[in-house]
Chain A
């Protein structure tokens, strides 16, 4: 109803208009490139890591995902509620996979 939304403050409207300089975004991007290079290096040269190579790759990938979500997808500047949504979703996803995997691994 267009006529009764005057007093609304909806999540769509950014509370504070956050202006991020280009330089900052480029910095983030360079950081992501460096992390990508690290992933490659670890897989090619990190033979000594053996069992840890998967874990290392996962840690690097998760770091990248967090950076992308926070800065490129603006999670850092959004309402807390959206961060909660994201967090709870990831947590439950882990629960679903973990319990199901537990069944398969103990069968």
Chain B
């Protein structure tokens, strides 16, 4: 190791062997454990999505029948939501970056952190077991609506148990981050000197901690009804199916913000770096994260407009839904204002961020269309809703995740990715994504219902376009992944601060040493995105 004398040992070199990973309490290693698990599940669910689109390339049965199709979209949804989107940004980027960004050596509860990963793995195994046990995966949709979920012969109990366990993993991550942010910030770092990603994680953590128990109890009630015949949701047992929808969406609406808020935090990090400008409206962005987290608790009824909920309740939920768009719009305006007159450096992370803004905008605006009671009566359960949530969840949260993967690639793996290949992959993904999902919005307006393996002939053209889009998108994703794998070997060595970032994680070597910093990190004075404060030169 004589050549590396100047450079302290990095956290990969500090310990070796399988056990040094799967029993590690180092936040960086746990973040990476999460990453490899999350990306594997993502690829599985992506393959399922590919199969669904293949089935829909023509009317009638092409590659699978009705029941299989129902099982495939359920498993696709369960994996994408509970195993990819909910943990992706907090459990991977949050774990890896939060302590670095606030200048500390680990999260508050390192052992709990490891435990949460093990729970995640256990939940993932349960979800996969539904494939091979008994009557196959659940065919209810990821929402597990009663009374069907109580009656179907498929593996609902196992799938619900998986979601239940994954919920606990999410709660522990949230708890850990709240305490870490309160107690472990570098001594000189005030609340308004925290990077905006930390603010986003903080707001998200409160949702994880306070909303997740509701879904836990609801899922246990499903099991109680299935296994012991307790009449809770099934009318034939004296239960009420609408009660299930209330309980489910009390969690699941806030949960959509668990998925997208951390992604918004990532965007707030990347935009000022590549615009070479201080973020516009730092406090507005920080507070809007808290506002989204809070208002998100009052709008769940917008998923139930056609369920038989009372008229006055529908009107109130519709009005409240419009409120939640305000803080989201505040963020979008501030990002755009940050770019205005910036010295823009077009690199892959910025491209993903711009795609995020565009796609999230479309997702948010279509959200308002279905948030309006009158229009939703027509659009509920059509492809319009499928288009809406893919624009926010994949076009938003997913693109933020992939952009961040490029932005912090050097910090995490110590090498730089290949820029040219990354940009080609980006354009394939961007074009593929919009070709895949935009037609769904139109199909929904035309009246094509969601969750069927078959459709009327007049929907064919747009469905073919959509399926072709899925091929382009998948090609882009695979190219991106290959580029990232290859760059670990062939990439240039990453300097501490390849992009000229201003937050504290750029002060440490790439990859960081075991205890995160080789010298006491300096807390930037004032606004964390002030480029005058840039301590480490761009290398």
Residues of A within 8 A of B (CB): 1, 4-5, 8-11, 81, 85, 88-89, 92, 95-96, 99-100, 102-107
CB–CB A102/B179 < 8 A: no
Q: Tell me whether A1 and B246 are in contact (CB under 8 A).
A: no
Contact of B313 among A4, A11, A85, A103 (CB under 8 A): A103
CA distance A107 to B307 in the complex (A): 12
| Residues on the B chain within 8 Å of A81, using CB | 178-179, 182
Our pick among A5, A10, A104 for the contact of B179 (Cβ within 8 Å) is: A10
CA distance A103 to B246 in the complex (A): 10
Q: In the bound complex, do residue B310 and residue A106 qualify as a contact, i.e. CB atoms below 8 Å apart?
A: yes
- The verdict on B479 contacting chain A, using a C-beta distance below 8 Å, is no
Contact A1:B311 (CB < 8 A) given known A8-B184, A96-B214, A99-B298: no
CA distance A99 to B182 in the complex (A): 32
B311 contacts A106, CB within 8 Å?
Answer: yes
Minimum CB distance partner of B311 in chain A: A106
Nearest-Cβ distance from residue A91 to partner chain B, whole angstroms? 9
Contact check, B250 vs A96: say whether CB atoms are below 8 A apart.
yes
- B140, chain A: closest CB distance, angstroms: 22
Which one, B179, B206, B301, contacts A103 given CB within 8 A?
B301
For A104, the chain B residues whose CB sits under 8 A away are 310
A1 with B210: CB separation less than 8 A: no
**A102 close to B210 (CB less than 8 A):** no
The interface residues of chain B lying within 8 Å CB-to-CB of A5 are: 106
Interface residues as binary, B93-118 with A (CB distance below 8 Å gives 1, 0 otherwise): 00000000000011011100000000
Using CB atoms and an 8 Å cutoff, list the residues of chain B in contact with chain A. Answer: 25-26, 105-106, 108-110, 178-179, 182-184, 206, 209-210, 214, 242-243, 246, 250, 297-298, 300-301, 308-313, 316, 515
A105 to B105, CA, bound (A): 53
Docked-complex contact A102 and B312, CB < 8 angstroms: yes
Q: Is the CB of B179 within 8 A of A88?
A: no
Q: Among B183, B246, B308, B313, which residue has the most Cβ atoms of chain A within 10 A?
A: B313
Across the interface, which residues of A come within 8 angstroms of B108, CB to CB? 8, 10-11
The distance in angstroms between the C-alpha atoms of A89 and B313, with both chains bound, is: 23
Determine chain B's interface SS by DSSP, over half rule.
helix
Taking a contact as CB atoms under 8 Å apart, the answer to whether B210 and A10 are in contact is: no
A10 touches B183 (CB 8 A): yes
Chain A residues with Cβ under 8 A from B311's Cβ? 106
**CA separation between A89 and B210, bound complex, in Å?**
7
A9 in contact with B183 given A92-B210, A106-B312 (CB within 8 Å): yes
Known: A10-B179, A100-B246. 11 other contacts (CB 8 A): A1-B26, A1-B106, A5-B106, A8-B108, A9-B183, A95-B298, A96-B214, A102-B312, A105-B310, A107-B308, A107-B309
User: Which residues of the other chain, A, contact B210 by a CB distance below 8 angstroms?
Assistant: 88-89, 92
Do A103 and B309 touch (CB < 8 A)?
yes
A103: chain B residues within 8 A (beta carbon): 242, 246, 301, 309-310, 313
Closest A residue to B243 using CB positions: A100
A106 touches B313 (CB 8 A): yes
Given A88-B206, A102-B312, A107-B310, do A1 and B183 touch, yes or no (CB 8 Å)? Answer: no
Bound CA span A96–B217, Å? 14
Residue of A nearest to B178 (CB): A81
